[in-house]
A and B are shown apart, each in its own frame.
Chain A
Amino acid sequence: MSQFSLQRTSAALLVCASLTFGIAAFGQGTSEPASQWWGPGEEHVIGEQLEFANEYGRLRLINTGDPINTAGHPFFEPLGENGRACVTCHQPSDAMSLSVNTIRAQWDATDGNDPLFAAIDGSNCPSLPQGEEASHSLLLEKGLFRIPRPWPPRAADGTVIEPEFDLEVISDPTGCNLDAEYGMFSDDPAISVFRRPRPVANMKYLLTLPNGVTPHEYFMYNDKSLLPTDPETGEFVSVQLMSDGRLPTLRGQAGDASSTHLEMIADLTEDELRQIEEFERAIYAAQGYSNRAGELGGPGTPPGLGPEAMRDGPPGELGNNPVNRVFGTFSMWLHQRGNGEELDPQEDFQASVARGADVFFDKRFFIQDVGVYNDKGLGNPFKRSCASGCHNTVLAGMDLAPGFMDLGLNNWPWNKRDDLPLFKATCHDDAVPQSYLGRVIYTHDPGRALVTGKCSDIGASMTQQMRGLAARAPYFMGGEADTLREMVDFYDRRFNIRYTEQEKQDLVNFMSVL
């Protein structure tokens, strides 16, 4: 992270002292980077628009609500026992997620004493010596928080779900799954898995039920069971919000996070819940400026770029046809000069982005052995591109169909990690087996199966939105890819796509401007 800047587009925008200092000190190209960290309880004002530097350019946040003074706002105040606020793990500079660079910088700045590193989930296990860096290695190296899930799984009302499989801890590098106090044999048995925080922005795309794909505004795609309902309204809701879909509403997620991540003893009040939800629904984030492509959004640029496109775009729409492609056209960047004319560096990069968009949309490959995906009626294999396969939601880029999938990131053989716990799941004889791994599965994170208890769900998780990628490495639920290039390489390896070196670079450049 090199620079900090804030754009003020509203005359009514109030700027607090610390941000004013930020502009003055670092907005003029000075070499010393400013911290972009927003600590709990700090006062900032979020007007219509904010920008934050990252290695690819600048992320832009748009607030469609009233200006917000973070002082006293429940998203930004340390409401719990450990001093954290929601903003601790959902930093504006990091597309409302949290990059490992930010985590590392915060460790260095506070010598590991920031509430971010709270023992409960900011360390590999609360029982480890908290002053040691090694006890926080998964957070510091991969941006992973510990997520303890009850074992056996429990439904929302607390009733036990009889799992279709037995779990055995094969390796436990964090020590937490066999820990006497926190492990699966403790008085409060839990499975500890380690996951990245998802961005809290562009929420309408995650919360809107899919349009135009009846009956999937009522049914999950994969097994044609019903979607969950909002416990407060009784209305069907999407399951895009969390990686395992365990809490489908913003209020539910906020309530859960306040007691788990913030260690809040009391419940959030109705007013606090309302403020948090209003804020989360008002924020849109996307890369707003590219160091190499220039301004993202506005006349002459691809219409799907920038947070303004997210704000104005239609949520819950399928973009896997050749006309309304997921992120819209990039054709204006493809051929900016006549034959033989040399492109300037900016045009050359823009052309690469446009080629990457074409690869993303057009290059088909065999999608094979993806659990809870190929088996939901599509066939194994089926042949699609990134966009027409799993990343088909207009402007947001996650899978519109309500459903989960095991891409291979959580289960062997596609991903083997030494830093994560490894479980052996043995499915019962009367269970439907996982479609491509059978009845004995080695997994680093059983994913959705820790919610449903189903063998067929082992390792499955929800696709993520693709906006603001430049600001929030590493990628995937378990932080497998440290860089955009590693993400491309994973897919290339997983599906034997055989991208050329040029295609890989074009894809990286394309994703860097989203």
Chain B
Amino acid sequence: MRFRTFAPVLAFGALAGAVPASAQEYLNFVACPVAQDTGERSDVCFFVRHEGVRYGVSSPPDWGNPQLGHKLLVEGSVSDEGRECGGVEIEGRASVLPELSPECDEIAPATPEILALELGRRPGITEDERAMILADPSSSLQIRRLRALPVPEVALGRTETIYFPFERDRASGPDAMVMLELARLAEATPGAEIAVRAFQGATLLDNGQVLAEREDMARQRGEKIVGILEGLGAPEGSIDLEVVSDFAPPTGKADWQGRRAELRVSAPR
């Protein structure tokens, strides 16, 4: 979930003197996330403190929000535009590390400065809607659905890439829709062949450490994807799985892209 704000940038007490990394600079670090309360009627957002700077954390939809009780692997570049959760925005990925870290337990209260940013607000009921319900109470039970996620376009011979959080095999909702469409495409293409290449990755942290995923992650991701595609109707025997357990040496620049799976549906040769 992404909480953007275009409200004026506010200084945050103890962090005000720190200098954020410059725009486009890559950052790779592990830190405790902090949950920021944003008020009685709004969602929380998350930030991390790194070298005295507050960075807001965002990720693509359904990728996986930060979790107290766990450290967060932050990989990205500093944005020169947006602000996130009252901090500097990082474009990239944030992964919840699986093992417990009980020391990560901070919920920052909603201060007047935070409330002023109006973070995490959701639309409330309008006066028109209230009047409608008053006039016809049964309208309060009418179906109102969320805006549907866009159906991804897939094509024969085109490679679709799914990226994963660190040491996870859980795809996001939009990624799941890509798999759904690929399975449909394969089912509709007589003799279709599906190639799945699954990878695992490693990240070069700013402190020089390399954080590598455990050995069987590529296999785990690949087998899960194959099971999903088959379950969604991809023809039996049409899937070729390649597990790539070796990973390229991490560079500290978008290393999260190494944690991926590539999927391609092809017409028979």
Complexed CA–CA distance, A380 and B171 (Å): 19
**A375 within 8 A of partner (CB):** yes
Complexed CA–CA distance, A339 and B40 (Å): 28
Given contacts A214-B148, A322-B124, is CB(A309)–CB(B70) below 8 Å? no
**A314 within 8 A of partner (CB):** yes
**A377 within 8 A of partner (CB):** yes
**A119 within 8 A of partner (CB):** no
B65 touching A379, Cβ below 8 Å: yes
Given contacts A226-B231, A303-B138, A433-B98, is CB(A381)–CB(B44) below 8 Å? yes
A433 touching B99, Cβ below 8 Å: yes
Kindly list chain A residues whose C-beta atoms are within 8 Å of the C-beta of B227.
225-226
Kindly list chain B residues whose C-beta atoms are within 8 Å of the C-beta of A212.
143, 145-146, 148
Kindly list chain B residues whose C-beta atoms are within 8 Å of the C-beta of A225.
224, 227-228
A328 touching B107, Cβ below 8 Å: no
Kindly list chain A residues whose C-beta atoms are within 8 Å of the C-beta of B146.
212-213, 318
Kindly list chain A residues whose C-beta atoms are within 8 Å of the C-beta of B138.
303, 328
Given contacts A377-B172, A379-B67, is CB(A395)–CB(B137) below 8 Å? no
B100 touching A438, Cβ below 8 Å: yes
Chain A interface: which size bin?
A: 35 or more
A219 touching B176, Cβ below 8 Å: yes
Interface mask (A303-332 → B, CB under 8 Å = 1, otherwise 0): 110000100011001100111110011011
Given contacts A214-B149, A215-B176, A224-B176, is CB(A364)–CB(B40) below 8 Å? yes
**B269 within 8 A of partner (CB):** no
Kindly list chain A residues whose C-beta atoms are within 8 Å of the C-beta of B163.
none
**A374 within 8 A of partner (CB):** yes
**A211 within 8 A of partner (CB):** yes
Given contacts A323-B144, A331-B133, A436-B100, is CB(A215)–CB(B180) below 8 Å? yes
B69 in complex: contacting residue of A318, A378, A380, CB < 8 Å: A380
What's the nearest-Cβ distance from chain A to residue B162, in Å? 10
A226 touching B232, Cβ below 8 Å: yes
**A383 within 8 A of partner (CB):** yes
Complexed CA–CA distance, A368 and B43 (Å): 13
A377 touching B140, Cβ below 8 Å: no
Complexed CA–CA distance, A219 and B224 (Å): 12
**A382 within 8 A of partner (CB):** yes
Residue on A nearest B98 in the bound complex, by CB: A432
Q: Which residues of B contact A (CB under 8 A)?
A: 1, 35, 37, 40-44, 46, 62-70, 96, 98-100, 107, 123-125, 129, 133-134, 137-138, 140-146, 148-149, 167, 169-173, 175-177, 180, 214, 216, 224, 227-228, 231-232
Q: Which residues of A contact B (CB under 8 A)?
A: 211-216, 218-219, 223-226, 229, 302-304, 309, 313-314, 317-318, 321-325, 328-329, 331-332, 362, 364, 366, 368-369, 374-375, 377-383, 394-395, 430, 432-433, 435-438
9 more A-B contacts (CB under 8 A) besides A314-B141, A321-B144, A382-B43? A215-B177, A224-B170, A225-B227, A229-B231, A318-B146, A322-B125, A362-B41, A377-B64, A381-B107
